[in-house]
Structure 1
Amino acid sequence: MTIKKILFNDPILDKISSKIELPSLTKTNDIYLDLLEVIISQQLSGKVAKVIYNRFLMLFENSYPKPEILREIDDKMLRKVGLSNAKTNYVKNLANFAITNDISINSIDSLNDDEIIELLTKIKGVGKWSVEMILIFSLLRTDIFPYDDLVIKKSIIDVYGIKKEGNQLIEKMISISDKWKPNRSLASRYLWANYDLKIREKEIG
């Protein structure tokens, strides 16, 4: 099932969206589990991240890392399935946070976007980008623009021909994204997909 097409008040993005079909997303019922996957996937390719995440899940009964179990598991077991020392600490930080804080879907979804970012970035190892991925792909929040995402930056530089760098680049990106409100999450998904499409086209030749 694909998503309904919308116009972004931006001829460049409208052209991109006209040639790309995005799959629909399903709202999560487990923020804790999704955060674990985001942490484990950080700075890894999609394929490698999936392999390590699945190995991680297999360490636990019913493939579910209950927080009380995860925080007590031997670090060596986590490193053996592919987690770095840092990520081993990060997933345990999340487990401890989940034990002492309510991060159920009902609790989290009652908060606005900024409140969710403020809450979840208290977990060491969970940064703003990680929470933005949760907002877009798990909670289906519609107006998130992860301007610090490397692929988003590369995609915007490419399709809009931006020559700026650093803070000037960020300011320009935010200015462009203002036209996409209140659908910046969807716009971001198109930018990711367009970048992937161009990579595949180059590989084909």
Structure 2
Amino acid sequence: MPHRDLEPGDLEHALQALTGQDTDIARALPQVGVPELRRRDKGFATLLGTIVSQQISLEAARAISGRLKERLPALSARAIVAADGQTLRDAGLSWRKVEYAQGLAEAELSGTFNAAALETMSDADAVAAITALRGFGRWSAEIYLMFSLARDDIFPADDLALRAALGKLKRLDERPTPGQSRRLVEHWAPHRSAGALFLWHYYRNTPRDTPV
């Protein structure tokens, strides 16, 4: 099935459509409003940044990215392959992340992976291509599809904040599992990216311990 892109003007329209599909969104949307549509660059450098940012704070990731830019002529696959592993380690990457970064770069240069080709793939094929790389799980792939490729029907159910927000929106006693979350939002298709953006916005703008 062809994918559609979620553009800035589409977000409010998609959320209005969801109010007709889900009474909980219809209740909560007027109280917290429409979130901003966030975007990230697409391509190799962003995928490299995904490796850098895994399991560390945003501030630490920015610092490491800055040191990488100081040490390399460009954050390209060719530059990563040409760099000595110790250079990447000295920038702040763990040895495991050095392996992941080099693996991503080698896959890009060999043609076994093509970041640009993701744009023309279906959602499922793009997720499969990214998760075939070492160091990339489904969450990382789905986040890339949402924020870099602007896909409109993605729900990264492994995200803890997203699941916490969904549990609160649905007034559940416990945070739903990833599988339960995907089932709870099946009827949001084809607007699940808008629904996910709304849940993050809802999570940040409502008290944690009181229902809305």
- The TM-score normalised by the length of structure 2 is 0.79
Query: Are residues 1:174 and 2:186 paired?
Result: no
Q: 1:174 to 1:57 in 2, by over 3 A?
A: same
Give SS of 1:68's match: helix
- Which residue pairs with 2:68 in the alignment? 56
Q: Alpha carbons of 1:156 and 1:178: their partners in 2 closer, same or farther (altered >3 Å)?
A: same
- Determine what percentage of the aligned residue pairs are the same residue: 24
Structure 2 partner of 1:95: 105
CA contact (8 A) 1:25 1:140 kept: no
2:46 to 34, 38, 50: 34
Cα pair distance change 1:42/1:176, threshold 3 Å: same
Name the residue aligned to 2:4: none
RMSD, matched Cα: 2.6
Deviation at 1:112, TM superposition (A): 0.1
CA shift digits 1:26-62 (9 cap, x unpaired): 574x42111111111112233332232222222222x
Cross-structure match for 1:43: 55
1:22 aligns with 2:26: no
| Counterpart AA for 1:24 | L
- 1: CA distance, partners of 2:205 / 2:134: 34
Tell me, yes or no, if structure 1 residue 190 matches structure 2 residue 198: yes
- What is the match of residue 13 of structure 1? 25
Conserved? CA contact 1:121–1:128, under 8 Å: yes
The match for 1:130 among 123, 137, 140 is: 140
1:150 aligned to 138, 160, 176, which one?
A: 160
Q: Which amino acid aligns with 1:55?
A: R
Query: Which residue of the partner structure matches residue 160 of structure 1?
Result: 170
Aligned length: 195
Tell me whether 125-134 or 48-57 shows the greater mean CA deviation: 48-57
Deviation string, structure 1 residues 132-177 (Cα, Å, up to 9, x no partner): 0110000000001111112112222233232357xx7334312321
- 2:5 alignment counterpart: none
Do 2:157 and 2:179's aligned partners in 1 also have CA atoms closer than 8 Å? Answer: no
> Partners of 1:44 and 1:20 in 2: how far apart?
30
| Partner SS for 1:44 | coil
Give the Cα–Cα distance (whole angstroms) in 2 for the partners of residues 191 and 152 of structure 1: 6
Look up the equivalent residue of 1:138 and give its one-letter code.
S
Stretches of structure 2 that go unaligned for 5 or more consecutive residues are 1-7
